[in-house]
């Protein structure tokens, strides 16, 4: 479905890369959708206690994620799926991760989730901006996107530098796999690149290449560090962890490409989806 965007003659290499955004997002969403079906009882513990039917709610979220994934890969109905996906991630932040942060402000991981899920919400919203809206976004919206993405990139970069014992890229509290050579060096280097790219996002001329660079970095980490764990993992727990790291990092990469596409949309007409 995206072959034309990737192979169109005369298309700049950066535009070809950005076209992969919805594909990466859809692949990750389909993965997480499957987990909502196979681990419904575990995932239902994240649903706020005041909501009834927590297990059915978990199944419903899985259906929503699968529907969004199918919409993105088929390039059909994105006028609805993209903003609704953004709303879903925003609800995760408001109903799950912000209350957790307020309750546990001293816990490091509690600060990471709102930024991560918030970026997913922003990225899904950007798919709607450049993919289905008829007008061009305002300059204020572009500035807001650049400031948010810069803040997240710098924050994630500092986390990588300060805690190099954990997996690089999107911060987590899982140690880097033992087979990875110079794991601390890779984490610090990743953090430095994220901080530098985040600073570059503050400048209008370098914002799109910098946001694209973060997406490329996350894609490289997915392929080089996390994908091998899919084959090296032993046991169900390790395999689930490996799947989550691949999908989570790939989703972040796709969202970066979506945000870069939205910022770039000021200089080109927006494509129209059915």
The answer to whether residue 39 is domain-embedded is: no
Predicted pLDDT of residue 270: 47
Q: What is the pLDDT of residue 5?
A: 78
240 is in which domain, residue-wise?
Answer: 77-267
Tell me how far apart the alpha carbons of residues 72 and 126 are, in angstroms, rounded to a whole number. 13
Decide if 133 is inside a domain: yes
Residue 234 token pair: 């032993």
Per-residue model confidence (pLDDT) at position 182:
94
Question: Is 24 within the bounds of a domain?
Answer: no
Instruction: Report yes or no on 121 lying in a domain.
Output: yes
Q: Is residue 32 assigned to a domain?
A: no
In a domain, 207, yes or no: yes
Domain count for the chain: 1
**pLDDT at res. 138:** 66
Q: Does residue 65 sit within a domain?
A: no
Contact 120, 71 (CB under 8 A): no
| DSSP class per residue in the chain | --HHHHH-TT--HHHHHHTTHHHHHHHHHHHHHHHHHHTHHHHHTTS-TTSS-HHHHHHHHHHHHHHHHHHHHHT-SHHHHHHHHHHHHHHHIIIIIHHHHHH-TT-HHHHHHHHHHHHHHHHHHHHHHHHH-SSPPPHHHHHHHHHHHHHHHHHHHHHHHH-TTBPSSS--SSBPPTTSTTHHHHHHHHHHHHHHHHHHTTSHHHHHHHHHHHHHHHHHHIIIIIHHHHHH--HHHHHHHHHHHHHHHHHHHHHHHHHHHHHHGGGSPPP---
Reported as a single tens digit per residue, the pLDDT across 11-54 is 777 778 888 899 999 999 999 999 999 998 999 988 888 888 99
Q: Report angle CA 237, 240, 245 to the nearest 5 degrees.
A: 125
Q: Average pLDDT per run of 10 along the chain, which is 274 residues long? A: 79 81 95 93 89 93 96 91 95 94 92 96 87 58 91 97 95 92 96 97 93 96 94 88 94 95 68 47
194 in a structural domain: yes
């Amino acid at each position: 479905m995206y072959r034309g965007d990737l192979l169109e003659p005369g298309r700049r290499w950066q535009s070809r890369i950005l076209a992969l955004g919805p594909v990466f997002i859809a692949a990750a969403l389909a993965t997480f959708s499957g987990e909502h079906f196979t681990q419904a009882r575990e995932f239902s513990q994240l649903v706020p206690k005041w909501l009834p039917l927590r297990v059915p709610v978990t199944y419903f979220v899985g259906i929503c994620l699968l529907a969004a994934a199918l919409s993105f890969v088929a390039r059909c109905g994105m006028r609805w799926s993209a903003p609704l996906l953004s709303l879903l991630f925003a609800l995760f932040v408001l109903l799950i991760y912000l209350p957790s942060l307020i309750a546990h402000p001293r816990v490091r991981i509690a600060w990471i989730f709102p930024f991560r899920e918030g970026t997913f919400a922003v990225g899904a919203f950007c798919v709607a901006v450049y993919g289905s809206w008829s007008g061009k976004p305002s300059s204020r919206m572009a500035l807001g996107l650049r400031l948010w993405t810069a803040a997240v990139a710098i924050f994630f970069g500092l986390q990588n530098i300060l805690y190099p014992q954990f997996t690089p890229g999107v911060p987590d509290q899982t140690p880097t796999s033992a087979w990875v050579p110079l794991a601390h060096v890779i984490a610090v280097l990743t953090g430095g690149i994220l901080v530098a790219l985040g600073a570059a996002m503050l400048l209008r001329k370098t914002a799109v290449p910098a946001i694209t660079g973060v997406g490329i970095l996350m894609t490289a980490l997915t392929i080089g560090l996390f994908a091998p764990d899919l084959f090296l993992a032993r046991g169900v727990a390790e395999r689930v962890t490996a799947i989550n790291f691949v999908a989570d990092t790939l989703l972040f990469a796709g969202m970066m490409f979506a945000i870069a596409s939205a910022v770039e949309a000021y200089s080109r007409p927006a494509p129209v989806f059915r």
